[in-house]
A and B are shown apart, each in its own frame.
Chain A
Amino acid sequence: MTKAADQESPTVALFVTCLVDLFRPTVGFAAVKLLEDAGCRVEVPAAQTCCGQPAFNSGDRKSARGIAKSVIKKFESFDYVVAPSGSCGGMIIKHYPELFEGDEKWEARAEALAARTHELTSFLIDVMGRRAVDTRLSATCTYHDSCSSLRELGVKEQPRTLLNSVFGLELKELEQTEVCCGFGGTFCVKYPEISNAMVSKKASHAEATGAEMLLAGDLGCLFNIAGKLLRNGSKMDVRHVAEVLAGMTDTPPIGRPPRRGDIPVEGGAKKASSAPTAIPAGHAARDA
């Protein structure tokens, strides 16, 4: 697919994803910036919550359908829907049509939404025709492919193409890059020992690259790998790929202490005085 000729500035609805919304808002702002830089008008539908994947993968099809219906209703009027996640993107693109298979009222709507929904880096390249971003970052990075991006959506080259355009950034590939990090949604808490074995391998492959930073397009994987690297006392930083592509690396890497005054608060003003808790000075010490 190339840039739609009649869509110089399409309206894109950002599907924020619950993890970005709740845990890492920086990724949301980075996604908005990347989309706007690509010429899109970005809207953030207010009533969005979750894509329904936890229910779907836990066998609660009824709840999953309920959530999917509300997502379809809220997002179907936009030109495109973009998610900074292969996992949530994959849920809408691959599994919504499956959820409503044979449903006269909803199947066509689910398929129409699926056809307009994209993972962020894939949207920038495959739909908007971008090949580069105008950013610099002097760092050696490695990229972890999330299973859903890689296998459900076929996203592999797109983030690498964009990362290679970041001035000063060197990309080093992970060994066994196609292997799951062991997150798996509820899997990581239902089978913690197996999940730990998997993420331990991933963390050691990441360290073996010698890169300073690990990037990926899904917060689930990122939290899992970052959590393991932190527990291991690793110096490697972990960020969502959108943060680097948008040049928004001022916020601390995932799981690193915020600098004094950096806690974003409601209203958007970055003032430590209105932060929910006092931030102790000299926050470098982290319990191992």
Chain B
Amino acid sequence: MQSTSPRFRENAGEALRDASLQRALRNIPTGFIKKRQKAADRMPEFEDLRDAARDLKNRTLANLDFYLEEFESKVVANGGTVHWCSNAEQAREAILCICRLVGAETVTKGKSMIGEEIGINDFLEENGMTPVETDLGEYIIQLRKEPPSHIIAPAIHVNKEQVAEAFFEAHQDLDADRNLDQPTALLAEARGKLRERFLAADVGITGANFLIAETGSSVIVTNEGNGDLTQILPRIHIAIASIEKVVPTLDDASTLLRVLTRSATGQEASVYTTFSTGPRRAEDPDGPEQFHVVLLDNGRSEMMGTEFQEMLRCIRCGACLNHCPVYGAVGGHAYGWVYPGPMGAVLTPSLIGVDEAGHLPNASTFCGRCEEVCPVRIPLPKLMRHWRELEFRKGNPAIRFRYGLKAWALLARMPWLYRRIMGLAMHTLAGWARGTGVLQKAPLAGGWTAHRDMPAPEGATFQNQWRAHVARNRDSGT
């Protein structure tokens, strides 16, 4: 996927002026946020569980190579195949190769952020196949030819009228006068259309919430059941996952599942939690003939051993997006690549380069709500700040800003000069306010005064007044 992250500012401006997007974003506080809070409140051990989840991910990452090899050996023992791919291109080729071997025409897809990361749909289409998203949200945005705007609610930016419009456009074989006003009508139509696709599919591609080393299983967490039909009905099941998805044991997966669903949607468990272990065995009533796992690195092993290793704990619950006031203001598309919100602000520069995605870790107030809700306690503000440090060392912030900052930092270490200069500056600013209490314009503060008044200084600084106060008390002997 081509990133538009360098245009973050412009993207954000457009998003702020998009009335239907703004309407959709207003539902987040009452939806996801309240549901998560209720789920956490219902579980007395939730905070302990978050610690346990963090610790088990840390232990796994410390021995990632071992668990990945164990996972592969179990997949092979079960009759499946693991494809190690160091970048998106290799992953696309591996998938295409499998699809071609069985002469695939229709490829159904469960929801997968790795699928977005490697741009698999466009690639399969370019190679003459028909990829069909089967998660309702993903299906909608596939019809609308746009990327997801949220990692667990891909079509959160779309309203039901826009869905109906997309369905009328795409399903032209149906009665043009049908009524699609109700969400249930939309759901029924999507279900009917997708059922045909499920049955026609030659290959089913799913993501994986976890890969389990001790059993060689992939796990998906869904609410619609589309994932199960995607991986069971076709002859081939391909699970695509990045390397940090591996966990040692079934018990570990259970621990993470308990924090994942509560953090994501406030559910104690999702409607479907499906474990896939190898292809169909002789005694199985159903299942795919072949089971492939496409394991993607794509820059993640470069994060190992750096400050950003902590980011690899992420289990993609989306809680940081839901609680982020910046995401809540501009939505997911503004971020310009696959992963939006705070987790995207840290991960995206690692995967596509900080030159491309430098805005993302800068566009944060460090309000800390993301870290407060992260189920695996990733210190997201600290990691965003670390990107800023790397940027600063490379000399990236604008020259004017850098010099301003350096001058301030220098002055801050010369208190006597600071007091003189700032004392004068405050008198000047107080004068500019002309007794109104505010400044309508101030140097270097155009971004501020475009939208709000600037309260003027009272006049003399506290320290100067305080010194006079102390001197007066001394003189009067008090």
Contact = CB atoms under 8 A, between A and B. Distances in A.
A210 interface: no
B408 interface: yes
B397 A59 contact: yes
B40 to A, nearest CB: 14
Interface in A253-288: 254-258, 263-268, 275-277, 279-280, 283, 285-287
A230 B453 contact: yes
Contact of B435 (A59, A198, A255, A283): A283
A191 B408 CA distance: 21
Nearest to A199: B452
Given A59-B390, A61-B389, A67-B413, A267 B457 contact: no
A190 to B, nearest CB: 6
Nearest to B17: A193
B164 interface: no
A58 B392 contact: yes
Contacts of B415: 46-49
B385 interface: yes
A49 B466 contact: no
B369 A180 contact: yes
Contact of B436 (A148, A197, A257): A257
B459 A276 contact: yes
A224 interface: yes
A132 interface: no
A203 to B, nearest CB: 9
Contacts of B124: none
A17 B422 CA distance: 13
Contacts of A230: 438, 452-453, 455
A167 interface: no
A59 B385 contact: yes
A56 B385 contact: yes
A112 interface: no
B190 interface: no
B125 interface: no
Given A50-B412, A176-B29, A25 B437 contact: no
A268 B469 contact: yes
A185 B450 CA distance: 16
B461 to A, nearest CB: 5
A26 B459 CA distance: 11
Given A58-B388, A194-B363, A256-B437, A22 B422 contact: yes
Nearest to A49: B412
A217 to B, nearest CB: 15
B364 A184 contact: yes
A258 B463 contact: no
Given A44-B463, A50-B412, A196-B451, A180 B325 contact: yes
Interface string B410-442: 111101101000110111101100111110100
Contacts of B440: 287
Contacts of A189: 444-448
A263 B367 contact: no
Contacts of A199: 451-452
A192 B450 contact: yes
Given A50-B408, A176-B29, A268-B469, A263 B385 contact: no
A276 B456 CA distance: 13
Interface string A182-213: 11111111111111111100000000000000
Among A60, A182, A279, max chain B CB count under 10 A is at A60
B6 to A, nearest CB: 14
B367 A184 contact: yes
Contact of A46 (B368, B467, B469): B467
A41 B312 CA distance: 49
Given A180-B365, A192-B450, A276-B459, A257 B435 contact: yes
A72 interface: no
A7 B393 CA distance: 45
Among A46, A52, A268, max chain B CB count under 10 A is at A268
Given A16-B462, A197-B16, A268-B472, 9 more contacts: A21-B463, A24-B455, A26-B458, A184-B364, A184-B367, A185-B366, A188-B448, A191-B326, A276-B427
Q: Which 7 A-B pairs have the closest CB atoms?
A: A184-B365, A227-B452, A59-B388, A59-B392, A192-B447, A63-B409, A25-B462
12 contacts: A23-B426, A28-B462, A63-B405, A182-B365, A184-B367, A196-B452, A198-B329, A227-B438, A255-B453, A258-B437, A268-B468, A283-B437
